[in-house]
A and B are shown apart, each in its own frame.
Chain A
Amino acid sequence: AQSVTQLDSHVSVSEGTPVLLRCNYSSSYSPSLFWYVQHPNKGLQLLLKYTSAATLVKGINGFEAEFKKSETSFHLTKPSAHMSDAAEYFCVVSFTGTASKLTFGTGTRLQVTL
């Protein structure tokens, strides 16, 4: 079965501290992996994507993610959180051989406190 799991539904960090949002996937195929961000009352926006090139992927707003095949993980990190990072983050998978259909994780709400 193919699936994506976001391990934390809610993460709270202080401004200026590192952010770690965890994502694991299961797949028989080589996946493409993405992180999307959704700010309140807004649509989703692509943060970054992995499509079998470099395993460390840099995205917008200082975020990056590392694809680790041995751990089937694609965790999202940022060295220093900013108040404007508070949002819902979705790990998304697209599996090779499937149609243009993405499987979304259940989301992680990132809270940033002063």
Chain B
Amino acid sequence: DTAVSQTPKYLVTQMGNDKSIKCEQNLGHDTMYWYKQDSKKFLKIMFSYNNKELIINETVPNRFSPKSPDKAHLNLHINSLELGDSAVYFCASSQRRGTNTGELFFGEGSRLTVL
């Protein structure tokens, strides 16, 4: 039973298209995140939601819009895709908000390739 699952795992699309990545966690966690991992493996947080409320929104172009219909789901929609959006996007969840427990549970990633 996968704890944090993301779909799709691979996504290849053309510049200018709009695409979505979905994430679901069955751990009962309150907080969910989107991270972006670039080609050099550098990980950077994009968004964080706690109980459907946006709590972290890093400097991310507004072409990226997260949506959390409930605390078990956090989707990422990307408009007008650009070449630089090519990356692996990781969804993660954690049990407590605003603390330094630091234990995140990651999905397996969604590799987005923009042509």
A: residues with CB less than 8 A from B are 32, 34, 36, 38, 41-46, 49, 51, 88, 90, 92, 94-96, 98-102, 104, 106-107, 109
Top 6 nearest A-B pairs by Cβ distance? A43-B106, A32-B100, A94-B100, A104-B43, A107-B41, A44-B106
B-side interface residues, number (CB < 8 Å):
28
A49/B103 contact (C-beta < 8 A), A100-B31, A107-B42 known = yes
How many inter-chain contacts with C-beta < 8 Å in the A-B complex?
71
Residue from B100, B103, B108 within 8 A of A43 (CB atoms)? B108
Across-interface contacts of A49 in B (CB, < 8 A): 101-103
Please name 16 further chain A to chain B contacts, defined as beta carbons within 8 Å, in addition to the given A99-B55, A100-B97, sorted by A numbering.
A34-B102, A34-B103, A36-B104, A43-B92, A43-B106, A43-B107, A44-B104, A49-B102, A49-B103, A92-B102, A98-B100, A100-B50, A100-B100, A102-B104, A106-B41, A107-B41
State the majority secondary structure of interface residues on A.
Answer: strand
- 23 pairs across A/B with beta carbons < 8 Å? A32-B100, A41-B109, A42-B108, A42-B109, A43-B4, A43-B106, A43-B107, A44-B92, A44-B104, A45-B106, A49-B102, A49-B103, A51-B101, A95-B100, A98-B100, A100-B31, A100-B48, A100-B94, A100-B100, A101-B48, A106-B40, A106-B41, A106-B42
